[in-house]
């Protein structure tokens, strides 16, 4: 298992480190706000379209009204091929038959990823106390999945060991640059290196945890401002709602 403190990148001089981290967090916050707005707008447009329909009033006057119509879910998720910590090739079929929590990040992330994954781990513990079986195997109720967006430094084994620091049932995945790019695109995840020439570069990325249903389809997402208690409550509600369909 990893020592989390050792995973935080260190650079020469505390001032340089803190300055770099502050700039990184500022960029992440800005991009996160923009991405969240875009996702909310995109999901709303997908869920609701307003075709005009004709109706007649009592005065027999024809008028046009707008009627909302639900047309589907946000297009998040899809095909991918990555490698697990034990060297096995996995595809999107990994999500079939159970609920999944999917988070994209990187091992050397100094603050955001540890905070978000710790929060997810806490939520998973709450759900386990309510009888939800959290498992890295397909026979459980809920599978937590961490996908590295820094495949040049994060091997599949390293990704798995890192993720399991936050919950022992986490599945850690990585792959080639192209494989990771394809997976991130399927989940609408933004990521970009801040300085490719430095060995201790950071990676700007979306701060979102996705909940996928037993069919591998998008259910909802949780952002930075969603607490562990809220995540656990929302997941439980989604599970109950799905059973009643």
Q: In this predicted model, what pLDDT tens digit does every residue of 53-81 receive, in sequence order?
A: 333 334 444 433 333 333 455 689 999 99
Give the pLDDT confidence of 155-214 residue by residue, as tens digits: 999 999 999 999 999 999 999 999 999 999 999 999 998 876 777 899 999 999 999 999
Q: Residue 123 pLDDT more than 80?
A: yes
Give the integer Cα–Cα distance in Å for 221 and 115: 16
Mean pLDDT of 7-21: 48
Beta strands in 18-118 (DSSP E): 48-49, 52-56, 62-66, 69-70, 81-84, 89-91, 99-105
* pTM of the predicted protein model: 0.72
Q: What is the dihedral of CA 96, 98, 103, 107, to 10 degrees?
A: -90
Q: Quick one: pLDDT at residue 175?
A: 97
Which range of residues forms the domain containing residue 212? 4-8+77-243
Range ranked top by mean pLDDT from 7-11, 34-38, 163-167, 194-198: 163-167
* CATH code of residue 100: 3.40.30.10
Beta strands in the chain (DSSP E): 48-49, 52-56, 62-66, 69-70, 81-84, 89-91, 99-105, 142-148, 171-174, 191-193, 203-205, 209-212, 218-222
Q: Are strands 99-105 and 142-148 parallel, antiparallel or unpaired?
A: parallel
Q: Is residue 94 part of a domain?
A: yes
Q: Is residue 150 part of a domain?
A: yes
Q: Is residue 29 part of a domain?
A: no
Q: Quick one: pLDDT at residue 65?
A: 35
Number of domains in the chain: 1
Q: Is residue 54 part of a domain?
A: no
Q: Is residue 141 part of a domain?
A: yes
């Amino acid at each position: 298992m990893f020592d989390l403190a050792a995973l935080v990148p260190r650079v020469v001089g505390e001032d340089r480190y803190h300055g770099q981290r502050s700039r990184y967090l500022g960029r992440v916050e800005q991009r996160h706000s923009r991405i969240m707005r875009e996702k909310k707008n995109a999901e709303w447009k997908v869920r609701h379209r307003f075709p005009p329909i004709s109706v007649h009033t009592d005065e027999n006057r024809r008028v046009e009204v707008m009627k909302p119509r639900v047309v589907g879910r946000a297009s998040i998720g899809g095909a991918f091929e990555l490698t697990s910590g034990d060297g096995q090739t996995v595809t999107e079929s990994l999500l079939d038959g159970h609920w999944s929590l999917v988070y994209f990040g990187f091992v050397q992330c100094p603050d955001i990823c540890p905070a978000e994954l710790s929060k997810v781990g806490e939520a998973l513990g709450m759900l386990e106390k309510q009888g939800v079986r959290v498992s890295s195997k397909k026979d459980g109720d809920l599978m937590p999945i961490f996908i590295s967006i820094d495949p040049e430094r994060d091997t599949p084994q390293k990704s798995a060991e890192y993720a399991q620091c936050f919950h022992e049932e986490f599945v850690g995945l990585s792959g080639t640059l192209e494989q990771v790019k394809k997976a991130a695109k399927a989940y609408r995840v933004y990521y970009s290196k801040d300085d490719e020439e430095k060995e201790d570069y950071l990676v700007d990325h979306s701060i979102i945890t996705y909940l996928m249903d037993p069919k591998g389809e998008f259910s909802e997402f949780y952002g930075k401002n969603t607490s562990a208690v809220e995540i656990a409550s929302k997941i439980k509600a989604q599970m109950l709602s799905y059973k009643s369909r």
